Amino acid sequence: MKLLVVEDETELLEVIQQSLEKQSYVVETAGTFNDALEKITSFNYDCILLDIMLPDGNGLRLLEELKKTERSNNVIIISAKDSLEDKIAGLDGGADDYLVKPFHLAELNARVKSVLRRKSLNGSNKIDLAQLSLDLNERSVIVNGKDLALNRKEFDILSYLVINKNRLVNKVSLAEQVWGDHMDAADDYEFLYSQIKNLRKKLRESLSGVEIQAVYGIGYKLAAV
């Protein structure tokens, strides 16, 4: 899988690149509008992360250029603009998703995977890990051939952790993902813990071969045992 990250902030570009490379993607970068335009017209990418505020041009124009190439590109806009009009303009312009800065790397990772999965077009939306098999469409989990009964939140937590397997998932990011955007203002995340505790127990008892590790003070990580 080959990705292009278009971002004028070199440092942000660097961390995004590092994070995506951890997922074993081939990551190319562009720091300017012209640089990005050149790469887009010459190469084919599976997914493009696009900052729309570039010093030498509007990222939305790159979207237009992409449309002209008639290749099926997947574009995720990354922007500090969080107004509804900007989101609508981006999505109407042909972007598949819109991510507002600052974002968690786990969130970015999940969005990229979701876009890539949609692109693979084989209809199924399954992720296998150790003895686990998650069906994201059916929202079901099979462990060792048997259904694992999970409530909505447990499933959401597990799928987010599985998508970000072996990666550290910040608890704020997890809370936003599972409980909704308004939970980002919660002053602590104790409420996460009871769901995680139940989920851990279920994963252990079903011999799933994975476990949720707590990373002190930051969040959680799903790893095969």
Total residues at interface with another protein (CB under 8 A):
43
What is the closest distance, in whole angstroms, from the C-beta atom of residue 43 to another protein in the complex? 25
Q: Mark 114-143 with x for binding to another protein (rule: CB under 8 A) and - for no binding.
A: ------------------------------
What is the closest distance, in whole angstroms, from the C-beta atom of residue 71 to another protein in the complex? 29
> From the list 183, 202, 209, 211, which residue makes contact with another protein (rule: CB under 8 A)?
183
One-letter amino acid for residue 142 of the chain: I
179: phi then psi, degrees, rounded to nearest 5: -100, -10
Written in H, E and C, the secondary structure of 72-131 is CCCEEEEECCCCHHHHHHHHHCCCCEEEECCCCHHHHHHHHHHHHHHHHCCCCCEEEECC
Calpha distance 42→19 (Å, rounded): 25
> From the list 30, 76, 162, 172, which residue makes contact with another protein (rule: CB under 8 A)?
172
Structure tokens of 23?
Answer: 């997922």
> From the list 55, 123, 145, 180, which residue makes contact with another protein (rule: CB under 8 A)?
180
User: Each residue of 158-196: b (16+ CB within 10 Å) or e?
Assistant: bbbbbbbbebebbbbbbbbbbbeeebeeeeebeebeebb
Q: Mark 88-107 with x for binding to another protein (rule: CB under 8 A) and - for no binding.
A: -------------xxxxxx-
153 touches another protein by CB under 8 A: yes
46: phi then psi, degrees, rounded to nearest 5: -80, -30
Class of residue 198 by CB neighbours under 10 A (exposed 0-12, middle 13-18, buried 19+) = middle
Stretch that binds another protein, among 30-38, 56-64, 75-83, 142-150 (CB under 8 A): 75-83
Q: Which of residues 7-66 bind another protein (CB under 8 A)?
A: 9, 11-12, 15-16, 18-19, 22, 53
Q: Which of residues 196-225 bind another protein (CB under 8 A)?
A: 215-218
> Would you tell me which residues interact with another protein (CB under 8 A)?
9, 11-12, 15-16, 18-19, 22, 53, 80-84, 101-106, 153, 167-168, 170, 172, 179-180, 182-188, 190-191, 193-195, 215-218
